[in-house]
Amino acid sequence: MTPFDSEGGIFMGSRRDPAGCRVGLFGVPYDGTTSFRPGTRFGPAAIREVSQGLETYCPQLDLDLEDLAYADLGAVDIPFGAPEPVVNAVQQATTAVLDLGLKPLMLGGEHSISSGAVAAVANQHPDLVLVQLDAHADLREEWLGTRHSHACAMRRCLEVLPSGDLLQLAIRSGTRSEFHELHSSGRRMDDVQALRDAMAPWTGRPIYLTVDLDWFDPAVLPGTGTPEPGGFLWGDFAAVVDVLSGHRLVAGDVVELAPQLDSSGVSSVLAAKVTRSLILLLGADQ
Determine the length of the chain.
286
Binding residues: 111, 134, 136, 138, 212, 214
| DSSP per-residue codes, 94-154 | HHHHHHTT-EEEEEES-GGGHHHHHHHHHHH-TT-EEEEE-SB----S-BTTBTTSGGGHH
Binding residues for Mn(2+): 111, 134, 136, 138, 212, 214
C-alpha 222/C-alpha 251 separation (Å) is 26
Cβ atoms 120, 94 nearer than 8 A: yes
- Residue 278 phi, psi (nearest 5): -70, -35
Cβ atoms 224, 258 nearer than 8 A: yes
Q: What letter would DSSP give residue 167?
A: E
Q: What letter would DSSP give residue 232?
A: B
CA atoms within 13 A on the CB side of 231: 24
H-helix or E-strand containing 278?
helix 266-283
With CA atoms as reference, report the closest residue to 40 among 96, 105, 112, 98: 112
